């Protein structure tokens, strides 16, 4: 899959996932909104909650949304390792995106549980992480293999729906909640 300036190309990745224009979505660890913006554009009648623990990242998302005249993004400062810290209601979201967030935490299960709590039945979780040992993968942190990540999510009762084509640095999976 093609990359832009060494970064993932979100539009190409998101084309592999069915996104309806009225979906309620959550971008866990949104950073500067690299995926939040395309998600919001793909669901103009929906809403994207962009979560990050770093306030400055959320300020960038707000600035970008204003600049691009995107009005369906709401930024939320939250530590997703803390149960309920997303402040969203149980089963209120259609899709949760976790992109390069698990490798930054030793509390991976807590993050997955928060995603599980807010997702509706039949909701989807997109998980994109660094491939352990990939040339651009961080050398510090708590990288998780694709197999370990799959087991972690499946222990919460999720089923692998599809594997995504990403690039040679990342793996991607879509899980469905039943």
Q: In whole angstroms, give the CA distance from residue 90 to residue 123.
A: 12
* Residue 7: count of CB within 10 angstroms of its CB: 11
pLDDT digits (tens, 9 = 90+) for 49-94: 999 999 999 999 999 999 999 999 999 999 999 999 999 999 999 9
Number of domains comprising the chain: 1
Question: Domain of 37?
Answer: 3-177
- Phi, psi for residue 53 in degrees, rounded to 5: -90, -15
Q: Is the pTM above the cut of 0.85?
A: yes
pLDDT by position in tens, the chain (length 178): 444 445 579 999 999 999 999 999 999 999 999 999 999 999 999 999 999 999 999 999 999 999 999 999 999 999 999 999 999 999 999 999 999 999 999 999 999 999 999 999 999 999 999 999 999 999 999 999 999 999 999 999 999 999 999 999 999 999 998 8
Q: In whole angstroms, give the CA distance from residue 39 to residue 126.
A: 12
Q: With contact defined as beta carbons under 8 Å apart, do 58 and 79 qualify? A: no
Size of the chain in residues: 178
* CATH code of the domain covering residue 99: 3.40.50.150
26: buried, middle or exposed (CB in 10 Å: 19+, 13-18, 0-12)?
A: buried
Question: What is the edge-to-edge ordering of all strands in the sheet holding 119-130?
Answer: 73-77, 47-52, 24-28, 93-99, 119-130, 170-177, 158-164
């Amino acid at each position: 899959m093609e990359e832009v300036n060494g970064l993932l190309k979100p539009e190409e990745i998101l084309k592999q996932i069915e996104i309806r224009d009225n979906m309620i979505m959550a971008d866990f660890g949104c950073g500067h909104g690299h995926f939040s913006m395309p998600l919001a554009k793909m669901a103009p009648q929906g809403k994207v909650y962009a979560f990050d623990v770093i306030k400055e990242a959320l300020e960038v998302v707000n600035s970008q949304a204003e600049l691009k005249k995107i009005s369906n993004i709401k930024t939320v400062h939250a530590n997703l390792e803390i149960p309920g810290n997303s402040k969203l209601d149980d089963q209120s979201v259609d899709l949760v995106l976790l992109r390069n967030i698990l490798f930054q935490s030793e509390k991976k299960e807590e993050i997955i549980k928060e995603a599980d709590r807010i997702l509706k039945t039949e909701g989807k979780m997109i998980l994109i992480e660094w491939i352990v040992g990939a040339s651009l993968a961080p050398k510090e942190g708590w990288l998780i293999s694709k197999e370990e990540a799959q087991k972690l999510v499946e222990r919460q009762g999720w089923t692998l729906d599809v594997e995504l084509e990403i690039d040679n640095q990342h793996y991607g999976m879509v899980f469905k909640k039943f």
